[in-house]
A and B are shown apart, each in its own frame.
Chain A
C-alpha cells in the first residue's frame, strides 16, 4: 500500500503504520478503539469508533487506512469548518450590521412616514439576526414577535389612523438644528465607537456557535428576576389602562 506521500508503509512483519499525525497508533487487538481521542470542546466532532474485533490483518489494514483517511478528513474538516465558521460568522455579522445601518439611514431619510416604519421593521429584523449570531435565539424570536410584529404594527396603525401623508410640514423654524444635530450625533458616534473599539478588552468566551438553552433563561428569569417579572406585568397592565384612558374621545357636551 502506498500512501499519498509515496511511502510504503506496509512491510513484511511490520504491523505498525505511520501517518503524518504526530501520534503513532498501535493496533492492539485488545484495545477496543484506535487511540484517537476526540476534542472535548467541540461538541459535534465526530467520534470515530471502530469495531473492537479485527478478524484479519487485511481488514485491519483496510480499516486502518480508512480510519486514517477519516481522521485526516475529520480533523481537516473540523479545522476547516472551524476556520470557515469563524470567518463565516464575521462575514455574516458584517452583512447583517450593514443591513441594519442601511435600514436606519433609510428610516431617517424617507419623507413618507410609512416608508420610515417599514425601514425600521427591516432594521429590527437585522437586529434579530444579530441576536441569533450572538447566540441568543430566544431573544431573536421575541424581538421579531414583539418589536417587529407588535410595536411596528402599532406604529403603522397609528400612522394610517392619523392619515399622515408625506411630510408637508412647511418651513423649518429651527434652521440650526440640522447642523448642530448632525455634529452632535457624529460626535456621539465617534465617542461611543472609540470606546467600543479601544476601551473594551473583553473577549467572547465559549463556543461562538453555541445557542442559549431556553430553560436556562427561564431559570434565571423566574428565580433571580422574579420581582422584575411581576413588576413588568403590572407595568403592562398600567399601560393598557393608560392607553384606554388617554385615547378616549371627550364626551359630547362635557
Chain B
C-alpha cells in the first residue's frame, strides 16, 4: 500500500519558479505548434512547418526535463504537486476544475511521450516528404501530443478524459489520413467506434465515482479511500468511503468492482485488449510514423497509465485486479499467436503491440505497477524503433508491406537492419532494457502459475515472430529481384532518429539497474515509490531464477525461428500444411472480425438505417420540409388576394370599414345597455 503522499499546493513550487505558466509550457508548446501549422501551414514553406512542429515537441521535451528537475529537487514526500489551471465546472457542491498533477509518475510519462514524439517527428519530416498534406499531418501530430500530455498530466478524471477523447480523435484523424482510400477511412471509423465502446464504460465509472465521492480529483479520492473518510453518495446519507465502495449491487459485484471494471473497459478499448483489440491491426492503414507514435508508444499506453494512476481504487476491488491480469495475460498470448502467421510487416508489429500491452496489464493486475510502467517506457522505445524500421523498409520497397516479397535487405540497408535487430531483441527480452522489463513482469507473475505459464508462452512466441520477421525481411535470398534492386537506405533524417531510439532503448536500462546504494534499489522504482508503492528488491537468487526462465523462453523461440527460417526455410510451411485447420484458424485471426460483423456491425447498421430512413428522414425531415411546404401552400393561396384590380382593393377597403363600423356600433349598443 502506498503511503499517503501529501499534495502540496502551488506555494511549494513558488520557491523554484516565478511564474506559474512555466509549468504548463509543456502543454502550450504542442498546442501552439498545432495552431500555427493548422491555421497557416499550407502557406508556409515546408522547412518552416517542420521546424515549428519538431521545435514545439522539442520545447515540450525540454519543459518536461525542467519539470523533472523541479520534481527531483523536492523531498520525496512532497513530490506531488497539483496546479489548478481553470475552475471549469462548478455546480453547487460539485466542482470539477481543470487541474494538472505533477508527480513522479506523470513526469515520467511526460518525458517518455515527449522524447519519443520528438524523434518520431524528426523521422516524419523525411517520411512524409513526398506527401501533399504535409502541414495537416504535423498539425494533427502536434495536437495528438498535446492531448496525450494532457492525459498524463491530468489531475482529475475529467481532465484525463479530455485527453483520452482527444487522443482518440487525433488517432482517428491520423489513421484515416489518406481518407480517399476506402480502407483507411474504414479503419479510422472502426478505431473510433471500438474505442468508443470502451469509453462508455470509462464515463459511467467516472460518473459513479463522482456520485460517490463528489469529486473526480485523484488526490482527493485517494485520500478519501486511504483515510476512510465519510462521503455522501447519491443514495443519501453519509457512509465511509470503503463502505460505499463495498456496497453490493444487483449484479452481485460490489460498487467498487463495477466502477473499476468500467474504468478497465475504457482501458481495454484504448489499449486494444481482448475483446476490443480489433481496431489496432486495421489502424496500420495510417502513415507508419503514426503507427509508431500512437499505436505503439503513446496512445495505447493510456490505459495502462490510467490503471496505474488509479491503482488505489483497483486495490479496493481485488476481483477487478484479477480480471485485469487475466485479460492481460490472455491477450498477450492470443495476440502473439496471430503475430506468428502474419505476412504484413506492420500487422506483425501491431499484434506485437497488443501482446506487449497485455504484459503491462498483467503486471498491473498483479500489483507490480512499477514493472508495468517500466515496460511501458521500454516498449515505447523499442516498439517505436521497430515501426520506424518498418517504415524505412516500406520507403525503400515502394510501400510494399508483404514480407514474402522481401529478403536480403540487410546488405542494402545496414543501418535499418542493425537498429531493427536491436529493437527486436529488446522486444524479445534478450537485451537490456527489454530484458529487464520483461523479466520484472514475469518475476511478478511467478506466484500465479497459470498466468506465469501464459507469460512464458508469450515470450517464446514473441521471440519467434520477431526473429521470423527479421530474418524474412533482412536476410536470406531476396524474393523479388526487381524490388530488391531499387532498395536503398533511407536518408539521414530518417535513420538518425532510429539510431537515437536504438541507443535510447539500451540507455533506458539504466533506470532499472541496481544502484548499489544500500536501502535504495534502482532509479525508477525508487522514484516512483511515492506514487505506486513499494517494490521489493529481488534477492540475487530470485533474480537469477526468473531471468533464467525468461531468457530461456526467449532463446528457445529465437532458435526455433532461426532454424525454421534461416537454416531450413520451408520447414514450418510443411508443418502448417499438416495442421491446416490450426493454421487457417490463426491466420484468419480466429474469425473474430467476422463474428463481430455478424453480431454487432450488421445489426447495428440495420438499426441505424431504420432510424435514418424512418425517423430522421421520415419524421424530422418530413416535419421540417412540411413546414416549408405549408408555408409555400399558404402563401400561394393568400397571394390570390392581390388581383391587381383597383376596384377589388376598394372593395376590401369598404368591406373592412363596414365591418369595423358594425363592430363599434354593436359595442356601443351593448355598452350603452
A180 touches B651 (CB 8 A): yes
Q: Are A194 and B665 in contact (CB under 8 A)?
A: yes
Number of interface residues of A (CB under 8 A): 14
A147-B581 Cα distance, complex, nearest whole Å = 117
Which of A173, A184, A194, A195 sits near B654, CB closer than 8 Å? A184
Write out, one digit per residue, whether chain A residues 78-122 have a CB within 8 A of any chain B CB (1) or not (0).
Answer: 000000000000000000000000000000000000000000000
Q: Are B661 and A191 in contact (CB under 8 A)?
A: yes
Partner of A174, one of B645, B657, B661, B662: B645
A229 touches B (CB below 8 Å): no
The contact string, 1 if C-beta is below 8 Å from chain A, for chain B 650-673, is: 010011011001100100100000
- Residues of B within 8 Å of A181, CB to CB, are 651, 654
Known: A191-B665, A199-B668. A184 touches B648 (CB 8 A): no
Over the window 193-223 of chain A, the binary record of Cβ atoms lying under 8 Å from chain B Cβ atoms (1 yes, 0 no) is: 0110001000000000000000000000000
A191-B662 contact in complex given A177-B647, A199-B668, C-beta closer than 8 Å = yes
Tell me the smallest distance from the CB of A95 to a CB of chain B, in Å: 29
Chain B residues near A199 (CB-CB < 8 A): 668
Do B657 and A177 touch across chains, with their CB atoms under 8 A apart? no
- Contact at A174–B648, with CB atoms within 8 Å? yes
Judge whether B654 and A185 touch: CB under 8 Å: yes
Q: Nearest residue in B to A194 (C-beta to C-beta)?
A: B665
Q: How large is the interface on B (under 10, 10 to 19, 20 to 34, 35 or more residues)?
A: 10 to 19
Selected from B648, B655, B657, B665, the residue in CB contact (under 8 A) with A195 is B665
- CB-CB < 8 A to B655: which residues of A? 180, 184
Q: Residue A192 at the B interface, CB < 8 A?
A: yes
Q: A180-B655, A199-B668 are in contact. Are A188 and B661 (CB under 8 A)?
A: yes
User: Do the beta carbons of B658 and A187 come within 8 Å of each other?
Assistant: yes
Closest partner residue, chain A, to B655 (CB atom): A184
Minimum CB–CB distance from B455 to chain A (whole Å) comes to 97
Of chain A, the residue at the smallest CB distance from B660 is A191
State which of A177, A188, A192, A194 has its C-beta within 8 Å of the C-beta of B648. Answer: A177
Q: Is the CB of B654 within 8 A of A174?
A: no
Residues of A within 8 A of B647 (CB): 174, 177
B-side contacts of A184, CB under 8 Å: 651, 654-655, 658
Mask of A231-254 contacts with B, CB within 8 angstroms, 1/0:
000000000000000000000000
Chain B residues with CB below 8 A from A173, complex form: 645
- In the complex, which residues of chain B have a beta carbon less than 8 angstroms from the beta carbon of A177? 647-648, 651
Chain A residue nearest to B657 in the complex (CB): A188
CA distance A194 to B665 in the complex (A): 9
| Complex Cα gap A180–B662 (Å) | 17
Q: How far is the CB of A60 from chain B (nearest CB, A)?
A: 63
Q: Are B654 and A188 in contact (CB under 8 A)?
A: yes
Question: What is the 8 Å Cβ interface bit string for chain A, positions 54-84, against chain B (1 contact, 0 not)?
Answer: 0000000000000000000000000000000
In angstroms, how far is the closest chain B Cβ from the Cβ of A4?
Answer: 53
Q: Nearest chain B CB to A162's CB is how many angstroms away?
A: 18
CB of B242 to closest CB in A, whole Å = 89
Q: Which of B654, B657, B668 has the most CB of A within 10 A?
A: B654
Q: Which residues of A contact B661 (CB under 8 A)?
A: 188, 191-192, 195
Q: From B651, which residue of chain A is reached at the shortest CB distance?
A: A180
Residue of A nearest to B645 (CB): A174
Q: How far is the CA of A195 from the CA of B665 in the complex (A)?
A: 8
Tell me which residues across on chain B come within 8 A of A192, comparing CB atoms: 661
Q: How far is the CA of A32 from the CA of B662 in the complex (A)?
A: 65
Are B651 and A188 in contact, with the CB atoms below 8 A?
A: no
Q: For B654, list chain A residues within 8 Å (CB).
A: 181, 184-185, 188
Distance of A195 from chain B, by nearest CB (Å): 7
A interface residue numbers (CB < 8 A to B): 173-174, 177, 180-181, 184-185, 187-188, 191-192, 194-195, 199
Q: List 28 A-B contacts (CB under 8 A).
A: A173-B645, A174-B645, A174-B647, A174-B648, A177-B647, A177-B648, A177-B651, A180-B651, A180-B655, A181-B651, A181-B654, A184-B651, A184-B655, A184-B658, A185-B654, A187-B658, A187-B662, A188-B654, A188-B657, A188-B658, A188-B661, A191-B658, A191-B661, A191-B665, A192-B661, A195-B661, A195-B665, A199-B668
5 residue pairs, one from A and one from B, having the closest CB atoms: A191-B661, A187-B658, A184-B654, A188-B658, A184-B655
5 extra A-B contacts, CB within 8 A, seeds A180-B655, A188-B658, A188-B661: A180-B651, A184-B655, A191-B662, A195-B665, A199-B668
